[in-house]
Amino acid sequence: DTGVSQNPRHKITKRGQNVTFRCDPISEHNRLYWYRQTLGQGPEFLTYFQNEAQLEKSRLLSDRFSAERPKGSFSTLEIQRTEQGDSAMYLCASSLEDREVTEAFFGQGTRLTVV
């Protein structure tokens, strides 16, 4: 399967702990996006990369969140000092940059529960 892959699928952590999620995009895609989704809502944009460059970061993203895409391939999203409000589904998507439209393909997501 050559789709977007996210690990882990589920993560339960205690408040105050750090967590890191990984996303492997579709291999030929040079754009990679992170979204957060709470129950019954649409995905909320967090940040996106074009190759290894982080081009945009949501103003809603606190400084406890950091994302990297060191070699323009896989990406990691780290949340430091987790809070209960961080509990959500974290979605990764990828797309091609040379298309006229942004046709994003999503992974299955990482469900984070902060207890």
* Residues near another protein, by CB under 8 A: 4, 6, 31, 33, 35, 40-45, 48, 50, 55-56, 91, 93, 100-109, 111
How deeply is 111 buried, as exposed, middle or buried, from its count of CB atoms within 10 A (0-12, 13-18, 19+)? middle
Min dist CB 21 to another protein, Å, is 13
Nearer residue to another protein within complex by CB, 13 or 96: 96
Min dist CB 42 to another protein, Å, is 4
Nearer residue to another protein within complex by CB, 15 or 103: 103
- How far apart CA 25 and CA 33 sit, in angstroms, is 9
Min dist CB 91 to another protein, Å, is 6
Min dist CB 72 to another protein, Å, is 16
The CA distances from residue 5 to 63, 96, 98, 108, 112, in Å, are 25, 16, 22, 7, 16
Q: How would you classify the pairing of strands 5-7 and 19-24?
A: antiparallel
Nearer residue to another protein within complex by CB, 28 or 100: 100
Nearer residue to another protein within complex by CB, 35 or 114: 35
Q: Which of 94, 36, 26, 24 is nearest to 65 (CA)?
A: 36
